[in-house]
């Protein structure tokens, strides 16, 4: 069905999220032992409950609202999240949600609410080739920091690491304030970002845009909404820099953009135009699978021309048409660059699909 989570397509209503990784275990009502455990844990300090594993035998029962979980088996607290439990920022780690190339995202509980905690991988583990390009034009807090980053000293590496992590949380606050649909950040402590978990209509972690089937009409609507987010970001002086169908989650109210550590400055970065066009073309190529008419649009070029002329505003209506100035631009090379970006997006998508299949 259009827009449906693929997991839900096979066997009627999908299992609640806490059951997803427990195949073969049916739901059950709480037994005496569970209730005793619940009474016992209520009087305990949070950290003890979370780290003692005392509730391990208890499983949640299916009817319970995902937003108010009472009992659930929590995973062994990963390194990096214990400090947040000790500080009372989160109460418990429910399960890992996704380990990506840059970070591992966990589903965590804070009081009655399920949230996401993003734990960034160490620099050495990250496979980011063009960090220099991304960081060009990005503001670093003080000149000592800037010099240290430049020198790649031990202190410099630490600063660079911190700048990388801070960038995402700073961008989320800034973009939320500008009305861009991004997850709401709650805290950033001990280098871990705790934010709203984007869910689908049933409260499961939301699927990514590249994982859902859409009607042509939905694809056009998502494209319109997403390009509006890109325009609003550009009006904040920011370009996502890694926008693709895999960094967009599909919530019940439409698409939500995630994953901002590589966000780039639109005015201070020489590659800004190219990155913006790549972002827009990635979205267009993905959604163009469902609505091929989108493939013949020029929104990125139109946006950039308006931005450069100082004429782009958050709600500026775009047409998708663009007349390149043929005296100044080699049209063939522009078209070639766009085709390359579209091809690259397809190749990346196929690679991700192959990796996901290999994981399954
Ligand atoms: N706020 C969120 N709500 C729900 N799922 C999320 C959220 N943030 C991240 N995820 C999940 O975790 C995955 C990895 O997060 P992301 O921020 O894209 O990091 P990476 O740099 O590892 O790609 C996402 O593809 C998504 O499935
Ligand atoms: Mg990502």
Tell me the residue range of the domain where 296 lies: 209-359
- 231 within a domain of the structure (yes/no): yes
For ligand 1, mutation pick of 186, 259, 352 (most atoms within 8 Å of CB): 259
User: Hey, what are 126's tokens?
Assistant: 């990250």
- 153 within a domain of the structure (yes/no): no
* 268 Cα to the center of ligand 2, angstroms: 24
For 193-198, what is the mean pLDDT?
97
- 265 phi and psi, to 5 degrees? -80, 130
- 200 within a domain of the structure (yes/no): no
**47-61, 286-300, 335-349: which has the minimum mean pLDDT?**
47-61
Residue 109's pLDDT is what?
Answer: 96
Please give the number of the atom of ligand 1 that sits closest to the Cα of 258. 17
Q: Say if residues 267 and 260 touch (Cβ distance below 8 Å).
A: no
CA-nearest residue for atom 12, ligand 1, is: 98
Identify the CATH number of the domain in which residue 280 sits.
Answer: 1.10.510.10
Percent above pLDDT 70 for the chain: 65
- 94 within a domain of the structure (yes/no): no
Q: Say if residues 172 and 195 touch (Cβ distance below 8 Å).
A: yes
Residue 158's pLDDT is what?
Answer: 72
Residue 129's pLDDT is what?
Answer: 42
- 353 within a domain of the structure (yes/no): yes
- 330 within a domain of the structure (yes/no): yes
* 85 Cα to the center of ligand 2, angstroms: 25
Name the packing angle between helices 272-288 and 299-308 (round to 10°): 150
| Res 84 pLDDT > 80 | yes
Percent above pLDDT 90 for the chain: 51
Q: Work out the pLDDT band at 269, boundaries 50, 70, 90.
A: confident
**66-75, 288-297, 307-316, 326-335: which has the minimum mean pLDDT?**
66-75
| pTM of the predicted protein model | 0.69
- Please tell me the distance from the alpha carbon of residue 180 to that of residue 267, in angstroms, as a whole number: 19
Q: What is the pLDDT of residues 19-68, one digit of tens each?
A: 223 333 333 333 334 333 333 333 333 322 233 332 222 222 233 344 44
* 247 Cα to the center of ligand 2, angstroms: 5
| Res 133 pLDDT > 70 | no
User: Hey, what are 45's tokens?
Assistant: 């300090």
SS (H, E, C) 16-44: CHHHCCCCCCCCCCCCHHHHHHHHHHHCC
- 294 within a domain of the structure (yes/no): yes
- 331 within a domain of the structure (yes/no): yes
Q: Residue 4, exposed/middle/buried by CB under 10 A (0-12, 13-18, 19+)?
A: middle
Number of domain units in the chain: 1
Residue 53's pLDDT is what?
Answer: 30
């Amino acid at each position: 069905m259009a827009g449906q989570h693929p997991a839900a397509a096979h066997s009627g209503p999908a299992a609640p999220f806490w059951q997803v990784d427990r195949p073969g275990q049916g739901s059950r009502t709480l037994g005496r032992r569970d209730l005793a455990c619940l009474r016992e844990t209520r009087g305990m300090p949070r950290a003890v409950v979370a780290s003692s594993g005392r509730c391990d035998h208890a499983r949640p029962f299916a009817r319970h609202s995902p937003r108010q979980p009472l009992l659930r088996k929590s995973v062994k607290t990963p390194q990096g999240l214990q400090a947040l439990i000790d500080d009372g920022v989160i109460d418990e780690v429910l399960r890992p949600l996704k380990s990506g190339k840059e970070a591992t995202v966990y589903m965590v509980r804070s009081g009655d609410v399920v949230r996401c905690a993003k734990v960034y991988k160490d620099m050495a583990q990250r496979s980011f080739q063009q960090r220099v390009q991304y960081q060009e034009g990005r503001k670093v807090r003080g000149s000592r920091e800037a010099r240290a980053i430049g020198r790649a000293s031990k202190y410099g590496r630490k600063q660079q690491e911190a700048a990388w992590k801070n960038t995402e949380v700073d961008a989320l606050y800034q973009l939320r304030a500008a009305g861009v649909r991004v997850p709401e950040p709650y805290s950033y402590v001990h280098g871990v970002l705790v934010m709203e978990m984007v869910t689908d209509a049933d409260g499961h972690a939301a699927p990514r845009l590249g994982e859902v089937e859409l009607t042509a009409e939905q694809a056009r609507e998502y494209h319109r909404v997403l390009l509006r987010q890109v325009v609003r970001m550009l009006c904040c002086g920011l370009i996502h820099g890694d926008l693709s169908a895999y960094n967009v989650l599909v919530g019940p109210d439409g698409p939500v953009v995630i994953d901002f550590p590589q966000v780039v400055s639109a005015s201070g970065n020489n590659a800004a135009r190219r990155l913006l066009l790549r972002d827009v073309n990635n979205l267009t190529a993905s959604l163009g699978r469902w609505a091929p008419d989108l493939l013949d649009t020029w929104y990125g070029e139109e946006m950039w021309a308006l931005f450069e002329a100082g004429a782009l505003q958050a709600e500026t209506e775009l047409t998708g048409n663009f007349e390149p100035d043929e005296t100044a631009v080699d049209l063939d090379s522009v078209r070639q660059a766009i085709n390359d970006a579209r091809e690259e997006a397809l190749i990346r998508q196929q690679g991700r699909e192959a990796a996901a299949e290999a994981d399954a």
